[in-house]
Structure 1
Amino acid sequence: MASECQGKSSWPELLGADGGTAVTTIKRENPLVNPIIVPEGSSVTRDFRCDRVWVWVNTKNIVTRIPVIG
């Protein structure tokens, strides 16, 4: 599904990065998306959107999953 979306669609290099740094990087590399920090264990909607990137972080604000459009 991500192939339907414009611009960069995943950021594997941000795994293990600071959440705030990840958000800044994602916005810079694809200004069409809205990166949203989500604490691990939280519930999120399961609908697919080309303008959203979940940035999953742990209690130390470290990215725990590869951020992808969705």
Structure 2
Amino acid sequence: MVTAPLFIIFAMVLFCMVKWGGTHPGVLAMGALFGLSLASTTFGAPILDGMETAMTSALSAVSNIAGGAR
């Protein structure tokens, strides 16, 4: 499942790639289509679960660092 923080991070990366990376929006749209087709296969669920776990732990680590700095 794609969560809101994961979507926001992906949206920021995509924006930066188009703005400063020289990537065209069509290339990113094609990548999104390939990603959606992969997600509909049996390989998609473990990949999405792993990404969600990684993003949750990364957000938790950043939250702990920010909370520890006060």
TM-score scaled by length of structure 2: 0.25
Looking at secondary structure, tell me which structure has more helix per residue.
2
TM-score, with normalisation over the residues of structure 1? 0.25
Structure label with greater radius of gyration: 2
